[in-house]
Amino acid sequence: MTEEIIRLERVVKEFRRGDTAVRAVDGVSLTIGRGEFVSIMGKSGSGKSTLLHLMSGLQQATQGSVRLLGRELSQLKDDDLTLLRRTHVGFIFQFFNLLPTLTALENVALPLLLAKVRTSVAEAKALELLKTVGLTSRAAHKPDELSGGQMQRVAIARALAGDPPLLFADEPTGNLDSASGEEILLLLKQMQIDRGQTIVMVTHDAKAAAYGDRLITMRDGRVLDDQLTGGMVG
């Protein structure tokens, strides 16, 4: 049995607008173990992104319990939650979320600087990460001087900056052509195989989902199916 890294119990997330409420996540229970690569699929509006936000502590559940690395998120103070996220969680968004005025290197180094790491150390680490994602030659480029695939690779490098054991990715290939998308997926897979990273990835693309070794299908805020698809990883 691998170490449990995420545990959700009867989690509900409701969004209220006036007197109507939308149940984006409607009673989800599941656990994810260290080193798993979990793909989440489901139709638009089925609650995938919300589920990811709840797991990573970006949003608070309305009901139920979310445990991340053994900590009950609803019981953490804001500062502690921020610290837990900064040290243990990397998040890759569909739209890259890079800061336009910073270079690739600075974007990757930023989370480290925010965590009070010395500039020289942070930049050395950032450079090493850019090398991992194959972008050493673009270190001094601003986001608008990079292709979509390159921006997403910078975003991955940034998500990895604090060596987080957990990586969340929301449609990381959604905006890329299939060749760049495959590079990103391979990179994620390598993180899992070589670094033992735990990865939770939302995608609407079955070919992308196939990089995971477990597939969760959502419908109307619920888990419709939870299927192990993994075998030996070579």
Partner 1 sequence: MGGLAVKHGILGILAGRPCHGYELKTEFDNLTAGLWELNVGQIYSTLERMVKDGLVESYADEGPGEDRKMYRVTQDGLKDLETWLSRPPLKARPLRDELYVRLGLLVEKDLAATLDLLDSQRRVYHLQMAELTRQKIGVVRAHGPDRVRREMMLDSALFHVEADLKWIENCEARLRALGGKEE
Ligand X SMILES: Nc1ncnc2c1ncn2[C@@H]1O[C@H](COP(=O)(O)OP(=O)(O)OP(=O)(O)O)[C@@H](O)[C@H]1O
Site string for partner 1, 179-198 (x = CB under 8 A): -------x--x---------
Lookup: tokens for 6? 């995420």
| Residue 197 interacts with Mg ion (CB under 5 A): yes or no | no
**Binder to ligand X among 5, 7, 26, 46 (CB under 6 A)?**
46
| Stretch of 62-70, 71-79, 117-125, 226-234 contacting partner 1, by CB under 8 A | 226-234
- Residue 43 CB, nearest approach to partner 1 (Å): 9
Cα(35)–Cα(56) distance, integer angstroms: 16
- Cβ-contact 104, 168 below 8 angstroms: no
- Of 39 and 132, the one with the shorter C-beta distance to Mg ion is 39
- Residue 28 CB, nearest approach to ligand X (Å): 11
- Of 9 and 220, the one with the shorter C-beta distance to partner 1 is 220
Give bridge partners of residue 228 from the DSSP assignment.
214
CA 66 to chain centre: 16
| Stretch of 6-14, 130-138, 150-158, 223-231 contacting partner 1, by CB under 8 A | 223-231
**Binder to partner 1 among 215, 216, 218, 223 (CB under 8 A)?**
215
- Cβ-contact 146, 104 below 8 angstroms: yes
Give bridge partners of residue 38 from the DSSP assignment.
200, 214
- Residue 117 CB, nearest approach to Mg ion (Å): 32
Cβ neighbors of 212 (< 8 A, separation 6 or more) are 37, 38, 39, 199, 201, 229, 230
110 binds, among ligand X, partner 1, Mg ion, none (CB under 5 to 8 A by kind): none
227 binds, among ligand X, Mg ion, partner 1, none (CB under 5 to 8 A by kind): partner 1
**Binder to ligand X among 5, 6, 24, 130 (CB under 6 A)?**
24
Give alpha helix (H) positions in the chain. 48-55, 78-88, 104-114, 119-132, 148-159, 178-195, 206-209
- What does the buried/exposed string (b/e) look like for 104-119 if buried means 16 or more CB atoms within 10 Å of the residue's CB? bbbbbbbbbbeeebee
- Contact residues toward partner 1 (CB under 8 A) are 186, 189, 206-207, 209-213, 215, 219, 224-225, 227, 229-234
